[in-house]
Homo-oligomer: A and B are copies of this chain.
Amino acid sequence: MTAVAPRFDAVIHPPPRLQVCGLLAAVDTMDFAAVRDTVGVSDSVLSKHVKQLEEAGYVRVRKATRASRLRTSLALTEQGRAAFAAHVAELRRITGG
């Protein structure tokens, strides 16, 4: 019994975005800077990838002022979690999970 229907997702598959989704899947929300540093990409590159995920409806971007500083937090949407789970399931299928 598979929890989710395996489904390859081209928006999620590219390395940087797969990493971003993997990080966000494990938490509730994560700051832009933390994701950037963990994934190891530049601001502009992360921003562009996040935009792709946001436009796909997978990530929610919330900007807030915390401690007098602009803080952008990222989180997977429900749709994003579902798509990621489905993609991971498909990867397992392909790779012989």
Residues of A within 8 A of B (CB): 8, 10, 13, 15, 18-19, 21-22, 25-26, 84, 88, 91, 94-96
Contact = CB atoms under 8 A, between A and B. Distances in A.
Contact of A94 (B10, B18, B96): B18
| Majority-rule SS of A interface residues | helix
**Number of identical protomers:** 2
B95 A22 contact: yes
A7 to B, nearest CB: 13
Contacts of A84: 95
Contacts of A10: 15
Given A22-B95, A84-B95, 4 more contacts: A8-B15, A18-B95, A19-B94, A25-B96
